[in-house]
Amino acid sequence: MSEIIIGIDLGTTNSEVAVVQDGQLTVIKDQGSALLPSFVGLSDNNEILVGETAKNQYAAYPERTIKSIKRSMGEDVQVVMGEQSYTPQEISAVILKRLKAIAEQHLGHSVTKAVITVPAYFSDTQRQATREAGDIAGLEVVRMINEPTAAALSYESDQKTHRRVMVYDLGGGTFDVSVVNIENDVVEVISSHGNNHLGGDDFDQKIIDFLVDHLKEKQGIDVESSSKTMARLVRAAEIAKRTLSDQPFAHIEEEYIAEKDGQPIHLSIELDRKNFEAMIEDYIEDTLESVHIALSDAQLTASDIDKILLVGGSTRVPLVRECLQKKFGMEPHSEVHPDLCVAMGAAIQAAMIGGAKVSTVLVDVTPYTYGTSAIGHINGEYTPFMYCPIIHKNTPLPVSKSEVFATSSDGQEVAEINIYQGEDPDALNNIEIGKFTVEGLKDVEAGNRIVISLNLDLNGVLNVSAKEKDTGLEKTITIENVISRFEEAQLDTARDRIDAFFAINADEDASDIAPTGKDEHHEARSLIEKAQGMLEKANNEDREDMVNIIEALNAAIEAEDTQKIAENVEQLSDILYYLEN
């Protein structure tokens, strides 16, 4: 048997380890998650903490917790953690050592070799530092590959055919775009561009600003001085952003968000996807500017690109896909998990070096686009049958998506909903797979909003609902076998694909370090101690919040109520984080 070489994505925010074993690709989970937060810390007993536990203590103990060490790789600096200082290589080595242990636990034997990914823009010094980190962790880095190359490998099993792929990678805090050339078994980055300070965190900030302004204008309160309120807004904004990736509206409901003249203030507002898109369009425009630069650096134009791959959590924002589709006239691909495809590509490269055969990474996706029709224009011509896609082809299953439409005439009490399968902008050129009417709509002016939701499951069953937004009046239909155009043999392949997909997620219990209840209490108690030490520094409002949470946390510890402990630890950590930053 050939020696197993692991594949590692050593990321700024999260890191992952993957492996190919008997032709089967697995991203290895630790404590139920494939993402290991790239945080390293020291506990108050001077024990080393890596991942979630280190991340959890960051708010309370930033002086002995390190995050985003990747940004310092290759620099001649030392970072302080507790009483001592360390090189970036040493901190990265701690993360690598943890990933090595996770892989060893999963495989049941020791591992000594790895393929590690690095950003395409990493200099020789940064690459050398990464190699040294591997050495320190007891891993021989048999090859270092560029992250976009790894992403391309996770999609392209056949490297013989000549193709040019664009990898668009938008994460929480960084953006990169690369043009990758695939020819005769050589996969190489031919140009790369990006912005180290652009990502989903900026999108969150726009929503936070919007909420702060709303509270100022509508309630006359300024919440920016309250860390507790701001921490809640940060969390609510990120949740709303994720909701808007699948739904046309997000409701933001935060009770008792603040107080005015002794009266509680509740935040209740609806954010519309269109408004959110207007907030972030300049950021997306900036990314397209980088796309343009990467293309001209490669001396190519948009039409030279064969395939666009989406990498990074923020590519789930629909506007990203739409803008790329408009620019390139083709659907971008995101069927391999955008957070895991880099680690998968590293493992595929590792297996190839080790001489193992790798079957393609396959996930179950819809091969067709599904949508409805509306009044609109096709090539400037008026039509009542403009196709409006809702679920795009190549989306992993199961999937639920909603879009909002509006009635076109005053007093319209009936809406006819047609559902199509296909890609043509003219709905009549697609296959109509279902239709129904919603009757009894409110007698109002044109513009009455109807939300159409499509839910497609792994068995090809499509549930469709149309709901009048203002009244909740709803009609639903189920359309069976919408993917049944599969031949029987294709169905078998699809089943195998699904099995393979789930096998990737099947290693729930690879962990050997599940935290015990006792440890959680210990963490909570340390946090209380820390918060008590900071009460003096806090303003009156924060102090009152902190005292209340400490009280609730003590009661939860007393009652051994794990959920309440976790909730209060989270709230208290958020406040401390704000006070310290």
Show the site string, 233-272: x = touches ligand AMP by CB under 6 A, - = not. -----x--xx--x---------------------------
Q: How far is the CB of 204 from ligand AMP (least distance, A)?
A: 7
178 makes contact with ligand AMP (CB under 6 A) = no
Closer residue to ligand AMP (CB): 121 or 385? 121
Bridge partners, 476 (sequence order): 465
DSSP strand pairing (84-86 vs 399-406): unpaired
114 makes contact with ligand AMP (CB under 6 A) = no
- Judged by CB under 6 A, the residue of 232, 273, 316, 321 near ligand AMP is 316
Catalytic residue status for 70: yes
Q: How far is the CB of 174 from ligand AMP (least distance, A)?
A: 7
Location of structure tokens 């050593």? 10
Catalytic residue among 132, 156, 169, 545: 169
Q: 531 vs 95, 352, 579, CA distance in Å?
A: 29, 52, 10
317 makes contact with ligand AMP (CB under 6 A) = yes
Catalytic residue among 29, 67, 70, 307: 70
Which phi and psi angles does 135 have, rounded to 5°?
A: -55, -45
337 makes contact with ligand AMP (CB under 6 A) = no
Catalytic residue among 147, 156, 403, 523: 147
Contact (Cβ atoms closer than 8 angstroms) between residue 450 and residue 469: yes
Starting at the edge strand that comes first in sequence, how are the strands of the sheet with 462-468 ordered?
399-406, 449-456, 462-468, 474-479
Q: 91 vs 42, 66, 79, 112, 271, CA distance in Å?
A: 11, 8, 9, 19, 41
Q: How far is the CB of 264 from ligand AMP (least distance, A)?
A: 29
Catalytic residue status for 169: yes
The angle formed by the CA atoms of residues 322, 309 and 331, to the nearest 5 degrees, is 40
Closer residue to ligand AMP (CB): 312 or 389? 312
Beta strands in 273-369 (DSSP E): 307-311
CA–CA distance, 112 with 526 (Å, rounded to integer): 37
CA–CA distance, 100 with 10 (Å, rounded to integer): 12
314 makes contact with ligand AMP (CB under 6 A) = yes
Q: How far is the CB of 276 from ligand AMP (least distance, A)?
A: 10
194 makes contact with ligand AMP (CB under 6 A) = no
Closer residue to ligand AMP (CB): 82 or 173? 173
Q: How far is the CB of 120 from ligand AMP (least distance, A)?
A: 16
Location of structure tokens 């997306």? 284
401 makes contact with ligand AMP (CB under 6 A) = no
Stretch that binds ligand AMP, among 78-86, 307-315, 503-511, 514-522 (CB under 6 A): 307-315
Catalytic residue status for 228: no
Q: How far is the CB of 410 from ligand AMP (least distance, A)?
A: 36
The angle formed by the CA atoms of residues 276, 282 and 285, to the nearest 5 degrees, is 120
CA–CA distance, 55 with 369 (Å, rounded to integer): 40
Amino acid making up residue 78:
Q
Catalytic residue status for 147: yes
C-alpha R_g of the chain = 26
Residues 4-43 that bind ligand AMP (CB under 6 A): 13-14
541 makes contact with ligand AMP (CB under 6 A) = no
Residue 430 region by backbone torsions, left for phi larger than 0, else alpha for psi between -120 and 50, else beta: beta
Contact (Cβ atoms closer than 8 angstroms) between residue 20 and residue 348: yes
CA–CA distance, 522 with 557 (Å, rounded to integer): 10
Show the site string, 118-157: x = touches ligand AMP by CB under 6 A, - = not. ----------------------------------------
Which residues are part of the catalytic machinery?
Answer: 9, 70, 147, 169
**Residue numbers at the binding site for ligand AMP (CB under 6 A):** 13-14, 171-172, 199-201, 238, 241-242, 245, 312-314, 316-317, 339
